[in-house]
Structure 1
């Protein structure tokens, strides 16, 4: 009979006696850190109580379809909650999309932030994945126990739930080992080499936390050397890179307006560098409009010196007269909306 030595937990569990669990043989806990772009309500409490009980803490993020910038948000959230370097960070996916395609950009970015990475999926889904890619990148497989013989290839098995706690068996034993926070080593042995701001692209040592030999790097500021070639052989592009490439091949970049029902919950820091267009409903922003209920939200974002600066413009599109409002924001706080032009009586912010 399998004996659980790991538990997983989220805000759906009302109570948890971590000291009692440890006395019963549990050695580590996997705590849900967030869903989409919303932090788990009890993540802070669970992390604190688990650490005080002497349990090893890992985390997981629950993917929510239709929410943008989840990768960037999940990284910020995990850092904010203090998920240790070299702890395991799992992605739990409930989506009609190809789970492998959803997971791939998460694990690339999480590994670059010095976490070990895992995926929660069914045994059947794991069997359909590119096993070579998973093995090459040390992806930790967390699956629900079934009668399928291939469960031997899984690293962590969920064997059931009790009182809101997931009972798991760490087959490989890696989750119950103390987390070693390895210090960064020197990654730039020729750091005196001068590069030109915004012009240097070539093979050199990275000045970031990504370790290894020489990378294909670029230097946007003449100081830092940013890797452009990923550890799995993929090229790493930001939004500006993508737009430049489209222009080079003669393609036209057309911003897509996305429907996002969670826009109200998004702080400036939940966006990345770039311009975003979203379809929104005015009542979500507590804005009264006699003639209109629908708007286009344009968000322009600049990330600089560890701060996120944003400007939002909200245009009411179903009113008889043009109505536009605007606000600024920084990091996690938005300023009040300012009326720009149109029928002021038909668009006022509460």
Structure 2
């Protein structure tokens, strides 16, 4: 079987624990990172991207599809917020069992939303791929075909996901990681990585940086020939000098800056003589001569103590107290009359209170059925308890790691208990033979991973 050279990750692979260096030593070239699902960003996406760049991996993104209204546009904006560039892929992950039958039409909606912003790919298992898509059409549209098949090699693919749950991890990370294999350079041609330039030992008359040595070549971005360089041993080749003039990118400037910084700093130092007058943007200050003579003032601690007037009252206060007393006497008389009237209503009020208690005791918690597909953050819940009808696949997109009976069921009751910045959720699956319950905690805008609670003894 082919050897994996890429992996795909999400928050199921904790970036705080994942052993990136061990994966690299195992021959993994890059990561396909889950950007989000539905209209929710994967909580580990940004950190996986940062670590991919830190350890020198190439990377792309994928989005788990629920076919929600406006989901395609949201996925594009989410990818943009995570720093995906036009030279990278965003794959649409189509595998959720709740999707309508027309997968090809839904994928067309996604491709239209992405447009020319990113390169587009499709992920699904081999069986639905052959049933729902035309391979020749996807090749004509230049769609990268990412096909999953764990027991045999698919007939048509660009990237083959050859293992899923049970594949194990790398090095110190023992959790499962999906393995992928690319039989071409389709992912490495368009990817972002963090390649550090290799500095060679200078000769007596020449000092140079190996990755930016000019050589004739073909620019895969502009489709023109010229003098250029490859920063990653031929995976990418960028033309610098062409018949149309010189071409530079921000990456070029970033690589060269460390070698130019000392020279530029010296030129700035020699060119600028720092004086108060040539400092730009200085704050609005006053001179010591602009301040008053503080010898004309006394300190608060040197002031004499004020006369103690705590035993006295002002005349207007005394008059006000007298008027208040007279008003109080009048109000007392009115209060006596009101009290007599209130006594007559006590029986009626008591009966109303009894009715209210009975009504409260008979009240039942209501279940919100308005929105089965939205996943709210902990901070979006009001304090107290609430119950909602939810699609299980929306709340828990991947149950493939559980036993078969725990993967059944599509509808559940989501109960939320919220207090302060904290929340606890319980998801009870309704339409499955086995009574499955999932729980999780959360705080602010973050939910922690689901855990299961279930029975282990069947009562005959």
TM-score by length of 2: 0.39
Pair 1:20–1:111, CA change in 2 (3 A): farther
- What is the aligned partner in structure 2 of residue 69 from structure 1? 70
**Pair 1:171 & 2:183 matched:** yes
Find the aligned partners of 2:375 and 2:51 in 1 and give their Cα distance: 31
Name the CA distance, whole Å, in 1 between partners of 2:372 and 2:76. 22
Is the alpha carbon distance of 1:23 and 1:111 closer, same or farther for their aligned partners in structure 2, counting shifts above 3 Å? farther
Residues 9 and 164, structure 1, Cα contact 8 Å, conserved in 2? no
Q: Tell whether 2:272 aligns with 1:260.
A: no
- Larger Rg computed on CA atoms: 2
Report deviation, 1:68.
2.2
Q: C-alpha offsets along residues 91-117 of structure 1, whole Å, 9 cap, x if unaligned? A: 11214413222211112222331x111
1:178 and 1:116, CA in 2 relative to 1: closer, same or farther beyond 3 A?
closer
Which residue in 2 is equivalent to 1:138?
A: 142
CA contact (8 A) 1:61 1:89 kept: yes
Whole-angstrom distance in 1 between the partners of 2:100 and 2:115? 23
Q: Which residue of 2 aligns with 1:89?
A: 90
Q: Which residue does 2:195 correspond to in 1?
A: none
- From 104, 119, 124, the counterpart of 2:122: 119
3-state SS, counterpart of residue 157 of structure 1: strand
Give yes or no for contact 1:170–1:176 (8 Å, CA) kept in 2: no
Query: Is contact 1:37–1:73 with CA below 8 Å preserved after alignment?
Result: yes
Q: Please state how far the C-alpha of 1:148 moved relative to its aligned partner.
A: 5.4
TM-score (norm 1): 0.51
Q: Deviations over 1:161-207 (max 9, x none)?
A: 32231110012221133538958xxxxxxxxxxxxxxxxxxxxxxxx
Deviations 1:265-323 (A, max 9, x none): 49xxxxxxxxxxxxxxxxx86399xxxx99xxxxxxxxxxxxxxxxxxxxxxxxxxxxx
Q: Does structure 1 residue 19 correspond to structure 2 residue 21? A: yes
How far, CA to CA, are the matches of 1:148 and 1:263 in structure 2? 36
Name 2:382's counterpart in structure 1: 286
Alignment RMSD (CA, Å): 3.1
Any conservation in 1 of the 2:37–2:64 contact (CA below 8 Å)? yes
How far apart are the structure 1 equivalents of 2:144 and 2:375?
34
* Cα contact 1:6–1:29 (8 A) shared by 2: yes
Which residue does 2:161 correspond to in 1?
158
CA contact (8 A) 2:73 2:114 kept: no
State the secondary structure of the residue aligned to 2:136: helix
Structure 1 residue runs of 5 or longer lacking an equivalent are 184-257, 267-283, 295-350
**What is the deviation of 1:83?**
1.1
What count of residue pairs does the alignment treat as equivalent?
A: 198
Question: Aligned-pair distance for 1:43?
Answer: 0.5
Higher relative contact order (CA 8 A, sep 6+): 1
Unaligned residue ranges in structure 2 (runs of 5+): 169-174, 193-219, 223-368, 389-460
1:38 corresponding residue in structure 2: 40
Measure, in 2, the Cα distance between the counterparts of 1:141 and 1:28: 17
Aligned structure 1 segments of 4 or more residues deviating by more than 2 angstroms: 130-133, 145-149, 161-164, 176-183, 258-266, 284-288
Shift of 1:132: 3.4
Map of 2:8 onto structure 1? 8
Higher-strand-fraction structure: 1
Tell me the distance in 2 between the aligned counterparts of 1:264 and 1:155.
33
Q: Secondary structure at the match of 1:4?
A: coil
Task: For 1:61 and 1:123, locate their aligned partners in 2 and report how far apart those are by CA, in whole Å.
Answer: 18
